[in-house]
């Protein structure tokens, strides 16, 4: 199964993708995570992407579609894919269609997490992740069970993203409204879009997604 999780920054795409990975053994293809890894490693792509990401703008379509193609090639043909944060523009949606068709894959569902934008700044500025395994947490909504220790791997170091500040979040939301939301009608015409209330409790959102993917 191949699914897209769509929604503005902080909608819960990464949170829900991690849960699908744990429950169904699917692969999470997060262009944001891939770009952050490239920035950290100082690769040519990372050097190009760093300043763009810090401003909250979109990295070029060619770069992100290129890395998604590489990731799809590295996956087993039977593994399901969860596209998290990709596609984000019409050009990326067209590239994904070709990338999937070339590999004999089809897109099964586009799940849009609908959220109240006012709540997103609080979600994003309170977010942190385990520096070892990447599990996501939140100051208010999801603390580690044992304070200072990751539930998943026992790690004790945590990190926050440089673009998770209120000013950059506003730019990221504007980019979503201007460039990403307009791709929904394309998928609606194919009859594969489901809208889910992303403001519900995390477990409720997961249950709704499970209903969609069966
Ligand atoms: P990316 O990493 O994709 O960031 P984003 O889309 O802005 O999304 P986020 O990761 O911020 O949010 P999320 O929806 O995953 O929310 P999360 O689950 O963490 O992209 C970063 C940058 O990279 C972009 O700005 C761009 O520059 C570049 N980029 C990436 N992909 C690109 C592409 N395809 N093209 C061009 N450029 C690209 O949840 C947020 C917080 O809320 C968490 O702390 C979580 O615990 C909490 N939370 C989640 N769900 C709930 C809930 N139901 N109730 C309460 N709290 C919740």
pLDDT tens-digit map of 14-52: 999 999 999 999 999 999 999 999 999 999 999 999 999
Q: Residue 52: how many CB atoms within 10 A of its CB?
A: 15
Closest C-alpha to 103, from 128, 80, 129, 122: 80
- 184 Cβ partners below 8 Å, 6+ apart? 6, 110, 112, 193
Query: Given this model, what pLDDT does residue 78 score?
Result: 87
Which pair of structure tokens corresponds to residue 169?
Answer: 């979040």
Sign of the C-alpha dihedral computed for residues 62, 90, 202 and 78 taken in this order: negative
- Ligand 1 within 6 A of CB of 213: no
Considering only CA atoms, which residue is closest to atom 52 of ligand 1?
202
175 CA distance to ligand 1 middle (Å): 13
pLDDT tens-digit map of 127-177: 999 999 999 999 999 999 999 999 999 999 999 999 999 899 999 999 999
86 CA distance to ligand 1 middle (Å): 11
28 CA distance to ligand 1 middle (Å): 13
C-alpha–C-alpha distance, residues 10 and 132, integer Å = 21
pTM: 0.94
Determine the atom of ligand 1 nearest the C-alpha atom of 92: 34
Residue positions annotated with a catalytic role: 13, 88, 127, 161, 172
The mean pLDDT of 172-198, rounded to a whole number, is 97
C-alpha–C-alpha distance, residues 126 and 94, integer Å = 34
C-alpha–C-alpha distance, residues 154 and 133, integer Å = 9
What phi and psi values does residue 91 have, to the nearest 5 degrees?
A: -60, -40
pLDDT above 70 covers a percentage of the chain that reads 100
Helix 31-41 and helix 44-55: axis angle, to 10°?
120
- Ligand 1 within 6 A of CB of 142: yes
- 211 Cβ partners below 8 Å, 6+ apart? none
State how beta strands 109-114 and 193-197 pair.
Answer: parallel
Edge to edge, the sheet with strand 193-197 lists 27-30, 81-84, 2-6, 109-114, 193-197
30 CA distance to ligand 1 middle (Å): 9
C-alpha–C-alpha distance, residues 51 and 33, integer Å = 15
pLDDT tens-digit map of 76-117: 888 999 999 999 999 999 999 999 999 999 999 999 999 998
């Amino acid at each position: 199964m191949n699914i897209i999780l769509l929604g503005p920054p902080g909608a819960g795409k990464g949170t829900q993708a991690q849960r699908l990975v744990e429950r169904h053994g699917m692969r999470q293809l997060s262009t944001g995570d891939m770009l952050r890894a490239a920035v950290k490693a100082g690769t040519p792509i990372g050097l190009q992407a760093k300043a763009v990401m810090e401003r909250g703008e979109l990295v070029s379509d060619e770069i992100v579609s290129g890395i998604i193609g590489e990731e799809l090639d590295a996956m087993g043909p039977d593994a399901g894919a969860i596209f998290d944060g990709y596609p984000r523009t019409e050009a990326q949606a067209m590239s994904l269609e070709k990338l999937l068709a070339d590999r004999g894959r089809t897109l099964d569902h586009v799940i849009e997490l609908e959220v109240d934008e006012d709540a997103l700044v609080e979600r994003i500025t309170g977010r942190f992740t385990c520096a070892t395994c990447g599990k996501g947490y939140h100051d208010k909504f999801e603390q580690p069970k044992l304070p200072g220790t990751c539930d998943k791997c026992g790690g004790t170091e945590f990190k926050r993203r440089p673009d998770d500040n209120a000013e950059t979040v506003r730019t990221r939301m504007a980019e979503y409204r201007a460039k990403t939301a307009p791709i929904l009608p394309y998928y609606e015409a194919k009859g594969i879009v489901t809208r889910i209330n992303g403001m519900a409790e995390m477990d409720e959102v997961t249950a709704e997604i499970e209903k969609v993917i069966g």
